[in-house]
Structure 1
Amino acid sequence: MSVEKLREIICQSDNIVFFGGAGVSTESGIPDFRSANGLYNEKTDSTYSPEEILSHTFFMKHTDKFYEFYKSKMIYKDAKPNNAHIALAKLEEEGKLKAVITQNVDGLHQLAGSKMVLELHGSIHRNYCMNCHKAFQLSYILEASQVPKCDDCGGIVKPDVVLYEEALDSDVLEASLEYISKADVLIVGGTSLSVYPASGLVSYYRGNKLVLINKTQTPYDVRANLILRESIGEVLSKACMK
């Protein structure tokens, strides 16, 4: 019944914005962070926690250890878009979805065909020299046997992902606020809405069609007009079927 209701909401709107988190990509085989089987609950031999390793301080002090973790736990180069990514790309193509705002760094929305994707936490597919700012593709990072260094100036190459202690890109944040505040329908999926400042974006939504698709409760459940606890890929593919 809830999926039918979502289908009705989608049919009646051409100003939809989607805001998604790690749960959008779990069906592509990429683990999330905070669930029981998530990255932060994995047992490791390291004396450092994943949160510590994924911080700016750690990157600067222990770049080699950062890259060991990053290349083994954060990059899934063979991952493919799932039904959620595909359904959202289709909605955009139909002119109904105005933007995808994502906390993910995997690039799967673009791989599925989405054009307007705002990446709050950056992307593993963009990398740059911290010294001369030369850009590098993901393959350059993966092929480096040690810490990747710029082939022009020798500077350290850093992934364009937002680490703990780093600020979000102000332009991406501003554009996200703009899309959310003007949206008729806001669909939020695969996120616990517990990480700030990204989760605070939902509070800028002014409409009355807030849809939450998440397997667990979120702080915004009380504000939602529709809540679905099923698989996000299944829900979106069914709701977007004509």
Structure 2
Amino acid sequence: MENTVKVLRELVESSGNIVFFGGAGVSTESGIPDFRSVDGLYSQKYAYPPEVMLSHTFFENRPEEFFRFYREKMIFTDARPNAAHLKLAQWEREGKLSAVVTQNIDGLHQAAGSRNVYELHGSVHRNYCVRCGKKYDLDYVLRSPDIVPRCACGGMVRPDVVLYEEVLDGEVMNKAARAISKADLLIVGGTSLVVYPAAGLIRYYSGDKLVIINKTPTLSDSGADYIMEGKIGEILSQV
């Protein structure tokens, strides 16, 4: 661990345009379970597979069941930013980090103080009416007396998150790709890099300082310049 931290510290000190690309593993240290680990969402038993209950079709056809699952398993109001979120926000304040690209929908990067965050899969903190487009915050959804939150116009209020069967926001993807392409240091952390098209964004990096930090091997390890095994928060907190 000591050597890993030393190497990463030197990389950060020699860089002026860092971009961080993160996944569910960034938030597990805040108490939010990921999808694919032993204790993850995919390992739990439900009436339908999680990828079915979080699909556009399921949302349309079974909104009450969707919202029951969504409220119970996708919203964590007690979660707080951990050491990884805080370190990234610090680097941004210091002018070293230009962007955070995240697959997470929990808003913890912003809660830690990060400003330039590209949320590839949306955010639980943004919600909108499917009929009139009116926007609502998370508190409105949580305070709804009905399982399915409703707008004043009567339309369903849905989370502004990308469900299975839906496409990612093209503008957010383009901005993230642009940021990654300009980075002199790309740190990838807490992601297995199996979810596409998001995982494909790291291909836009053309530098020679691609760092992957994860507890387990990823599909992109062979293309990395540095591989560091461990928890992202524990490693970044020591840099």
Length-normalised TM-score, structure 1: 0.96
Preserved contact between residue 2 and residue 226 of structure 1 (Cα < 8 Å): no
Which residue of structure 2 aligns with residue 72 of structure 1?
72
**Quick check: 1:222 aligned with 2:222?**
yes
Residue 2 (structure 1) aligns with:
4
1:122 aligned residue: 122
Q: TM-score when scaled to structure 2?
A: 0.98
Aligned to 1:13: 15
Write the distance in 1 (CA, Å) between the matches of 2:143 and 2:49: 26
> 1:120, 1:225 → 2: CA distance?
24
User: Does residue 201 of structure 1 match 2:197?
Assistant: no
The amino acid of 1:17's aligned partner reads V
Secondary structure at the aligned position of 1:104 is classed as coil
- Residue 41 of structure 2 corresponds to 39
Task: Summarize deviations over 1:14-43 as a string: whole Å, max 9, x none.
Answer: 100000000000000000001111011112
Q: Return the alpha-carbon distance in structure 1 between the equivalents of residues 81 and 131 of structure 2.
A: 34
How do 1:1-242 residues align onto structure 2 when only pairs under 5 Å count?
1-44=3-46, 46=47, 48-144=48-144, 145-151=146-152, 153-239=153-239
**Which sections of structure 2, spanning at least 5 residues, go unmatched?**
none
Q: Distance in 1 between matches of 2:68 and 2:95?
A: 42
Compare 66-75 and 226-235 and name the one that shifted more: 226-235
Q: Structure 1: how far apart are the matches of 2:232 and 2:219?
A: 18
Q: For 1:130 and 1:185, how far apart are their aligned partners in 2?
A: 40
Q: Give CA-to-partner distance per residue, 1:41-69, whole Å, 9 cap, x none.
A: 1123x2x1100000001100000000000
Residue identity in the other structure for 1:5: V
Total equivalences in the alignment: 236
Deviation, 1:219, is: 1.1
State the secondary structure of the residue aligned to 2:237. Answer: helix
Runs of 4 or more above 2 Å deviation: none
Distance 2:226 2:4 in 1: 7
SS in 1 for 2:227: strand
Other structure's SS at 1:31 match: coil
- Of stretches 168-177 and 226-235 in structure 1, the one that deviates more from structure 2 is 226-235
Distance 1:146 1:187 in 2: 40
Contact kept in structure 1, 2:30 and 2:82, CA below 8 Å: yes
Query: Counterpart amino acid of 1:189?
Result: G
Contact 1:63 1:147 in 2 (8 A): yes
Is contact 2:190-2:231 (8 Å) kept? no
Q: Secondary structure at the match of 1:80?
A: coil
Return the alpha-carbon distance in structure 2 between the equivalents of residues 224 and 176 of structure 1.
19
Deviation (angstroms), 1:200 = 0.4
**Are the aligned partners of 1:215 and 1:231 in contact in 2 as well (CA < 8 Å)?**
yes
